[in-house]
């Protein structure tokens, strides 16, 4: 390392991408520092997918306890205690935060628990006032929930605050139609809240297969979740009894106890000092090339702050590839093709590859196979909820170009199935595989 620099690499943000980049770069022999103004672990671990998935598990017990009676278990009426789940989840998050910090310490990464901003191509200013010089700077500050600019918006909360509610509300209005909105709609509904999902447009889960999202909408409505489509938010007012009154365009006001904004996430770049180094911004995100480098040779960015694909596993791969490229002598890029995704709704969605609509637009000749069935557990539980699996194939080559599933355990099943899509396997390969019976997964190899 040159004497001109305090560190070879300075990382701003200790989330999934930043921690991976720090650890791998240090493993390649670089002297690394990372600054984190909140908690080590980032959005996913601290206030995102990990605590949310724990709430999903907790919510599932509402149906599982009811179903258990059909399986011979004498389950009494059970009361849900929100503070117990909340505090246990917060405790688990704290444990994971400690593990992430331990990873940094074990790899001899210096951690600054304070905000850092960019002063120049090789300079970072800490909140304490210290100026640090680094040969390379990596921005990995993630994204931040979007809050609508309307009167009374401060009366609502985002996914950042939802894990710390003092008590469970009786009524919840959720704004948004994406995966976060639908996941929390399912969670709050299972916790016995009256849930209303309010959307500016006319459909949920844009980008997912139309047939799958329509089925989720039907199931959600049958469970009692209410939907307001084409209903832009106008304002929110607090009532004398502490409740909220939500005014929307073209519809009656909604009376609720909690407003949750789930209207997307924006790259977190405000106040970072990017302009001090001349870093180029495009559509509100840091513009980078295939190697995650900005227009400034010494400054890189990975994860949600680049707004390429806002998924934790993608940020981790970008951080790893960056470290290998810059410090490991192994230049490589991330392959963004066939990235699997999940929506942990009730029931959950798993998806990989092209939707039917995308395939028809791109390939023209398409064959689609579906399996619409009632899972065995649901039959004995006397639950009418049906699962839907879908294979989208190239009509000329027989290659499976997309798999879409709405079913219990769909994300768990899809992870293995995604390998087949990534490998370019054909429908004949699926057909030639012997079914694992009885299982829900066997439907993937039984479609005709």
Residues annotated as part of the active site: 437
Instruction: Please answer whether residues 393 and 424 qualify as being in contact, where contact means their C-beta atoms are separated by less than 8 angstroms.
Output: no
- How many Å apart are CA 356 and CA 404, to the nearest integer? 9
Nearest to 267 by CA among 256, 276, 279: 279
Taken as a whole, the chain contains a residue count of: 448
Q: Which residues pair with 100 in a beta bridge?
A: none
Tell me the CA distances in angstroms from 32 to 8, 104, 277, 327, one per residue in order.
Answer: 6, 10, 20, 11
Instruction: Please answer whether residues 15 and 140 qualify as being in contact, where contact means their C-beta atoms are separated by less than 8 angstroms.
Output: yes
Tally Cβ neighbours within 10 Å of residue 151: 12
């Amino acid at each position: 390392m040159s004497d001109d620099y305090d560190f070879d690499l300075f990382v701003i943000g200790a989330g999934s991408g930043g921690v991976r980049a720090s650890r791998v770069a240090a493993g390649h022999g670089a002297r690394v520092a990372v600054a984190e103004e909140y908690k080590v672990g980032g959005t996913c671990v601290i206030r995102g997918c990990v605590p949310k998935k724990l709430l999903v598990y907790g919510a599932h017990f509402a149906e599982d306890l009811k179903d258990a009676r059909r399986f011979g278990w004498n389950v009494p009426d059970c009361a849900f205690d929100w503070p117990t789940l909340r505090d246990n989840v917060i405790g688990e998050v704290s444990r994971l935060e400690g593990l992430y910090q331990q990873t940094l310490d074990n790899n001899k990464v210096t951690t600054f628990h304070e905000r850092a901003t960019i002063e120049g191509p090789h300079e970072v200013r800490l909140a304490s006032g210290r100026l640090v010089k680094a040969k390379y700077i990596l921005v990995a500050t993630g994204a931040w929930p979007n809050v609508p600019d309307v009167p009374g918006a401060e009366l609502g909360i985002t996914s950042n605050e939802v894990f710390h509610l003092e008590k469970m509300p009786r009524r919840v209005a959720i704004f948004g139609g994406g995966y976060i909105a639908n996941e929390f709609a399912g969670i709050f509904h299972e916790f016995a809240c009256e849930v209303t999902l309010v959307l500016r447009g006319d459909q949920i889960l844009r980008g997912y297969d139309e047939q799958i999202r329509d089925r989720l909408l039907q199931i959600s409505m049958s469970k009692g979740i209410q939907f307001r489509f084409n209903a832009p938010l106008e304002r929110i007012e607090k009532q004398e009894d502490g409740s909220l009154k939500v005014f929307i365009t073209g519809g009656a006001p909604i009376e609720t106890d909690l407003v949750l904004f789930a209207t997307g996430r924006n790259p977190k770049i405000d106040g970072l000092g990017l302009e001090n180094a001349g870093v180029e911004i495009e559509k509100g995100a840091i513009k980078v090339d295939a190697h995650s480098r900005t227009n400034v040779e010494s400054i890189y960015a990975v994860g949600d702050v680049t707004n390429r694909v806002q998924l934790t596993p993608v940020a981790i791969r970008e951080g790893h590839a960056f470290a290998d490229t810059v410090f490991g002598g192994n230049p490589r890029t991330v392959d963004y093709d066939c990235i699997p995704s999940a929506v942990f709704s009730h029931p959950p969605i798993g998806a990989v590859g092209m939707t039917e609509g995308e395939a028809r637009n791109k390939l023209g000749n398409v064959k689609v196979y579906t399996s619409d069935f009632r899972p065995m557990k649901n039959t004995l539980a006397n639950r009418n909820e049906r699962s839907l699996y879908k294979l989208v194939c190239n009509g000329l080559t027989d290659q499976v170009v997309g798999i879409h599933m709405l079913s219990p355990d769909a994300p768990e099943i899809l992870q293995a199935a995604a390998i087949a899509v990534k490998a370019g396997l054909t429908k004949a390969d699926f057909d030639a595989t012997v079914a694992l019976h009885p299982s829900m997964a066997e439907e993937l190899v039984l479609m005709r």
